[in-house]
Amino acid sequence: MAVFLLGFAAASYLAGGFVRFARDVALLTTPPEAAQADGIVVLTGGEQRLQQGIELLRSGEGQRLLVSGVNRGTSAKALARTTGTDSALFECCVDLDYEALNTIGNAEMATRWAHRHGFRRLLLVTSDYHIPRSLLEMADVPDAPEVVPYPVSPDKLWRADGWPTRLGLRLLATEYAKVLAVKARVAWHHVVTADGERRVAGHVGSQASFK
């Protein structure tokens, strides 16, 4: 009976968390003060993301644009053609990151890029369902700049009445599981780091007592 109750409580907690996650994603809106950002970062994964990032750059919402996680076989010229952008804009103000393989890599490369250009505030352009996990990963990078999320809503994710489509529901559920995994990893990392610091402090203290 106790096992059943524990399982029911865990399932209820996860279901409630998913509902909150889906609601928070649905309520995401574009920032009203986007123009105050120094740079723009687009996380690859959809043409809408890149198109939105280009539009923000054109309108002066950032000094430069980083496209993070680009396939190694994709050139700046190809992206310019895909988005209908003058290649001169890419040559001038767009940087491509070929190193990042996942959201963790995106966060690390975006932070390095920001430091290299002296940017302290970034617009982060990605799909709305990807925003929560992206922010968690950025927050876990040491000395990360301030990040302002700029959500892009995929056409196939939401219905006209604001509810997710069947595909959107599956996508949200998958992303929610990834968010939980990130939270667990970050929490464990902090526990291990704190324990290591305590051990080092205790070792130093014990050495000092013998002097």
What pLDDT score does 209 carry?
44
d(CA 141, CA 44): 19
- 133 closest CA partner among 102, 164, 162, 111: 102
- Which three-class secondary structure state does DSSP give residue 22? helix
pLDDT (tens digit per residue) in 193-208: 665 555 545 544 445 4
Cβ proximity of 55 and 84 under 8 Å: no
Q: Do the domain assignments include residue 161?
A: yes
Distance of CA 108 to the CA centre of its chain: 10
Total domains in the fold of the chain = 1
pLDDT (tens digit per residue) in 16-36: 788 898 888 988 888 876 557
Q: Do the domain assignments include residue 52?
A: yes
In the structure, what pLDDT confidence band is assigned to residue 174 with cuts at 50, 70 and 90?
very high
Q: How many CA atoms lie within 13 A of 35 on its CB side?
A: 3
Please count the other Cβ atoms lying within 10 Å of the Cβ belonging to residue 82.
13
What pLDDT score does 203 carry?
47
For the full predicted model, state whether its pTM sits above 0.85. Answer: no
Residue 4 has pLDDT above 60, yes or no: no
pLDDT (tens digit per residue) in 71-113: 999 999 999 998 888 889 999 999 999 999 999 999 999 999 9
Q: Do the domain assignments include residue 129?
A: yes
Q: Do the domain assignments include residue 182?
A: no
In the structure, what pLDDT confidence band is assigned to residue 114 with cuts at 50, 70 and 90?
very high
pLDDT (tens digit per residue) in 117-161: 999 999 999 999 999 999 999 999 999 999 999 999 887 888 888
pLDDT (tens digit per residue) in 34-59: 557 999 999 987 778 999 999 999 99
- 132 closest CA partner among 52, 24, 29: 24
CATH code of the domain covering residue 85: 3.40.50.620
Quote the radius of gyration of the chain (alpha carbons, Å): 21
Q: Do the domain assignments include residue 140?
A: yes
What pLDDT score does 34 carry?
57
d(CA 72, CA 93): 19
**Residue-number span of the structural domain to which 76 is assigned:** 28-165
In the structure, what pLDDT confidence band is assigned to residue 173 with cuts at 50, 70 and 90?
very high
Supply the DSSP string of 130-193, one letter for each residue. GHHHHHHHHHTSTTPPEEEEEEE--TTTB-TTS-B-HHHHHHHHHHHHHHHHHHHHHHHHHHHH
Q: Do the domain assignments include residue 96?
A: yes
What pLDDT score does 8 carry?
47
Cβ proximity of 14 and 133 under 8 Å: no
What pLDDT score does 26 carry?
87
Q: Mention every residue, 6+ apart, whose C-beta is less than 8 A from residue 90.
A: 76, 77, 79, 80
Q: Do the domain assignments include residue 179?
A: no
Q: Do the domain assignments include residue 19?
A: no
